[in-house]
Structure 1
């Protein structure tokens, strides 16, 4: 190998190290938030009529709670947002654990109401036994099996932002259950949940939509967006920013639940748009200045 080749390889190596170092430095600029979390897991089941031979409901909650060593004001705001987004209108004086247990109790209370329907179905079946309609009225025990899960997954905890997704799954009989994802980002400086309108004016929405469609097409390895409709997507012209989003250092991720923009079989669909592409569309003085230079 010639001396010039050695020089070229050496320069390429040095440039590569410099490039990697710059990227690491850029990432390290985003400071970790001084917030740690504990896990809170509850899993219970209950049978109809408290009879283990009959159908049952199963519920599982997999949550996280901020540790008490978190700054008092920030701790309060995180807990407040977690409680509202997980459980709706609540008594904020109650702990996350108490609210979670109350959520489970209410789930079983609603399940117990099925006992009256169960008895009614059994009685209707008895009256039809021996008739041509017997098969239609025969109850299936499995049709009374219910299942619910809620999981709070942390996505990002840096630069005064805390992003998380609440995954829910419900099965109440039938062909399949239903998954839903709800996405949130807390701006820790003010304790508020980040909203789509905090970032974009209404007149930028069409351009944001175009970027979302572009990235969904790329993720599906199609060259024309309209090809998505052959894969089970509904009209690509109706894919629009839905406000169900969260922020990480990779960009802004929009999430679409089954049936939002595509057939159930395609599941939850996400599109992450890098900040470099969103920069021209963001409002002045938006809350993500740490990410968009």
Structure 2
């Protein structure tokens, strides 16, 4: 091989290597965040009788205790508390929120005692316990904690009588530079919804191994024309992860639908000044 050909060969290999690098996950430094967790496992039998139906509450709540910007820790904790327990608990500390939520759950269950006693008296020997046996299990998991972004998912499962329980997953992203939650509007350009919806539907079809997206409607999904981005997303080094919960786009039997989109797939819809731009571009 001549020197000229060798030089061309080296240049070609270099170009191919650089091109391949554009699709590899970007390395990011871990954030300096310290976490703690609070666990609860409480049960109560109706009328305080161990022979009666009971409720069971299990909580495994993880929350940040320290971040680089100490002034933001309260705001970030409020996001964790709101996402896990709801708006009614955001003014409490993490410990207080867990205690208050536990108290409220047990109080609400005890409110069933009058109805239970009335039905038990009427039913005599007929079992009615199943309809009064409640449970709730929840936890949250840190899914990404790098490069100024903190992502976590709240997992929730409960049963309050009826045919079956419910399961849900809620994703959240916090911009540690501002201490605020990251929204779809910050991530995507204007009028992104229709284009992103098509990408999501195509990805769901691929996951279910069908080429015609309409075939999803024969697999338990509702109208594919009504599947749109729902704001329930998180990110990592490889892409964006969307979750559609039970009954949101499909029947209960289908369960939750999790969709991973690579940054290459959504790059044309992303804002270059967004909080996740350093991962996308």
TM range (shorter): 0.7 to 0.9
Q: What residue in structure 2 maps to residue 64 of structure 1? A: 62
Q: Please tell me whether the aligned partners of residues 83 and 90 of structure 1 are also in contact (alpha carbons under 8 angstroms).
A: no
> Take 2:89 and 2:37, find their aligned partners in 1: how far apart are those partners?
21
Contact (CA 8 Å) 1:162, 1:188: kept in 2 or not? yes
- Cα distance in 2 for residues equivalent to 1:171 and 1:113: 16
C-alpha spacing 1:24/1:37, structure 2 compared with 1 (3 Å): farther
Which residue matches 1:163? 151
The offset of 1:69, in angstroms, is 6.8
Aligned match of 2:214 in 226, 243, 262? 226
Alpha-carbon offset, residue 142 of structure 1: 2.0
Residue matched to 1:175: 163
Query: TM-score, normalized by length of structure 2?
Result: 0.87
The correspondence for 1:77, drawn from 58, 75, 78, is 75
Q: Deviations over 1:171-229 (max 9, x none)?
A: 01121101121111011111111111112245221110011011111111112211212
2:201 aligns with 213
Shift of residue 169, structure 1, vs aligned partner: 1.0
Q: Does 1:278 align with 2:248?
A: no
Aligned to 2:137: 149
Offset at residue 113 of structure 1 (A): 0.6
* Deviations 1:103-127, CA, capped at 9 Å, x for gaps: 011000000011011012123335x
How far apart, in 2, do the equivalents of 1:24 and 1:36 lie?
31
Distance in 2 (CA, whole Å) between partners of 1:42 and 1:87 is 14
Counterpart in the other structure of 1:105: 103
Indicate the residue corresponding to 1:254 in structure 2.
242
Alpha-carbon separation, structure 2, partners of 1:58 and 1:150: 11
Matched, 1:188 2:187: no
Residue of structure 1 in register with 2:185 after alignment:
197
Report if the CA contact (8 A) 1:232-1:266 is conserved. yes
Deviation of the 1:75 alpha carbon: 2.3
Contact 2:235–2:241, Cα closer than 8 Å, also in 1: yes
Please state whether the residue corresponding to 2:142 is helix, strand or coil.
strand
Tell me the equivalent position of 1:135: none
Q: Relative to structure 1, is the Cα distance of residues 285 and 264 closer, same or farther in structure 2, using a 3 angstrom cutoff?
A: same
Q: Which residue of 1 aligns with 2:42?
A: 44
Q: Is contact 2:29–2:146 with CA below 8 Å preserved after alignment?
A: yes
- Gaps spanning 5+ residues in structure 2: where? 1-9
Conservation of the 8 A alpha-carbon contact between 2:148 and 2:177: yes
Show CA shifts across 1:6-59 (max 9, x none).
xxxxx9xx99xx79x96999633x111011322221111111011111100000
Q: Cα 1:70–1:98, aligned 2, differ >3 Å: closer, same or farther?
A: farther
TM-score in terms of structure 1 length: 0.83
- What corresponds to 2:277 in structure 1? 289
User: Structure 1 residue 250: deviation in Å?
Assistant: 1.9
Per-residue Cα deviation, 1:214-254 (whole angstroms, up to 9, x for no partner) = 11111111122112122111111111111111121221111
Paired residues in the alignment total 267
1:95–1:181 CA distance, 2 compared to 1 (3 A)? same
Cα contact 1:36–1:70 (8 A) shared by 2: no
- 5+ unaligned residues in a row in structure 1: which ranges? 1-10, 130-137
